[in-house]
Amino acid sequence: MLEEQLKKIRSAQRISAATVIAALTTDFFVLHGDRLQADDPAVTVGYGHFHQQTVLFVGVNRGANLQQRLDYHFGALSPAGYRKVSRGLTQAEKFGWPVVTLINMPGAAADVAAELNGQSQALATTISQMGHLTVPNVALFLGEGESGGALALANCNRIIMLANSLYSVASPEAVQAILKDKQQALANYLPMTADQLKQLGLVDQIIAEDEQLLPHIEQVLQQQLTELGHLSAKQLQQQRTEKYLAILDRFTDQ
C-alpha cells in the first residue's frame, strides 16, 4: 500500500510546485538568493496574483528528470533555501500577503555544507517565523514531507494534503528500519497518510486526485484563504498554537 503510494508521489509525473504556481498565479515574481550565501534551486519563493490578491508561494522543487533532481538536490532544502523562505515570509508579513507552501520533499539537506552553514538555525528560524506570522499561511502537501525540513514549511493555520501524500517524522524507509519485522505495514502503526492525519486533527482538508486536480487545488486554496482572511493577526497566531497543542494534549494524561 505505502510502497505504491511512495512510487506515485516520487514519480516524474507527479504534479509539481512549478505546475501549481504556473496554473494558479499571474505576474509571478521570483525571489532569488538568501542575500548571504547562495540561491537554493530546491525551493522557489515568489509572489503573484491569485484571485485578485497577491500571495507568497513557497514551492519545493523535486525535479522531474535525473538532471533536474540532481540540480534541485532532490528537493532537500539547504540552509540558504530556508533563509530565502525566511526572506519571503518577512515580505509577506510586511505587505500583508497570505502564504502558501507547496511540499514534496525528503526533508532538509543533510550534508557537511548544510551543517557548517547552520541548517539547525535556519530550520528553527523558519519554524518560529511561520508560527508567528501575522498573515495566514496554508501548507499544501503535493507528495511527501518529512522531518523538521517539512515541518518548517508546514507550521501553518491550515494543512491540506493531496489524497496520496504523506507527512511523517522521517522517511517511511527510515522508520521501517527500526521495526524488527520488516514485513509489518508501517502505516498501521504510525499515522502518516492524509486520511490518518485528518482523523488526528492535523490535516484540515484532503484533495481527491482526479482529472480535476488543478481546479480542486485552486478552489480549496481560495476557500481557505478567504476564511483565514477574516481572522486578525492575533487570532492567526493563536489559532496555530492552539491547533497543535489541542492535538498533543489529547495524548497526555491530565
Nearest residue to 79 (alpha-carbon basis) of 108, 103, 102: 108
| 88 or 149: CB nearest another protein | 149
Least gap, CB of 38 to another protein (angstroms): 17
Kindly state the smallest distance separating residue 239's Cβ from another protein, in Å: 12
The nearer residue to another protein, 2 or 174, going by C-beta atoms, is 174
Please work out the total of residues on this chain that contact another protein, with binding judged by CB under 8 A: 50
Q: Residue 247, interface with another protein (CB under 8 A)?
A: yes
**What angle (nearest 5°) sits at the alpha carbon of residue 130, between those of residues 125 and 135?**
140
DSSP 117: T
Instruction: Find the shortest distance in angstroms from Cβ 251 to another protein.
Output: 4
Contact 71, 44 (CB under 8 A): no
Out of 168, 194, 207, 220, which residue is the one contacting another protein (CB under 8 A)?
Answer: 168
Segments of the chain assigned E as strands: 26-31, 43-50, 53-60, 99-103, 137-141, 144-146, 158-162, 166-168, 205-207
C-alpha cell at 190: 504510525
Contact flag: residue 252 with another protein (CB under 8 A): yes
Bridge partners, 173 (sequence order):
none
Among 190, 214, 231, 233, binds another protein (CB under 8 A): 190
127 to 156: interface string for another protein, x by CB under 8 A? xx-xxx--------------xx--xx--x-
Residue 80 to residue 126: CA distance in whole angstroms: 11
Closest separation in Å from C-beta 182 to another protein:
11
Q: Which lies closer to another protein via its Cβ, residue 95 or residue 189?
A: 189
241 binds another protein (CB under 8 A): yes
CB-nearer residue toward another protein: 25 or 204 = 204
Strands 99-103 and 137-141 come out as: parallel
Cα gap 89→84, rounded to integer Å: 9
Is residue 58 within 8 A of residue 102, CB to CB? The reply is: yes
Q: Is 234 in the site for another protein (CB under 8 A)?
A: no
Residues 91-130, one symbol each (x = binds another protein by CB under 8 A, - = not), give -----------------x-xxx-xxx-xxxx-xx--xx-x
What is each CA distance from 164 to 123, 209, 249, 251, in whole angstroms?
26, 8, 28, 26
Residue closer to another protein by CB (options 20, 133) is 133
Buried b or exposed e, range 8-28, using 16+ CB within 10 angstroms: ebbeeebbbbebbbeebbeeb
Residue numbers at the binding site for another protein (CB under 8 A) = 108, 110-112, 114-116, 118-121, 123-124, 127-128, 130-132, 147-148, 151-152, 155, 167-170, 174-175, 178-181, 184, 189-192, 197, 200, 202, 240-241, 244-245, 247-248, 251-253
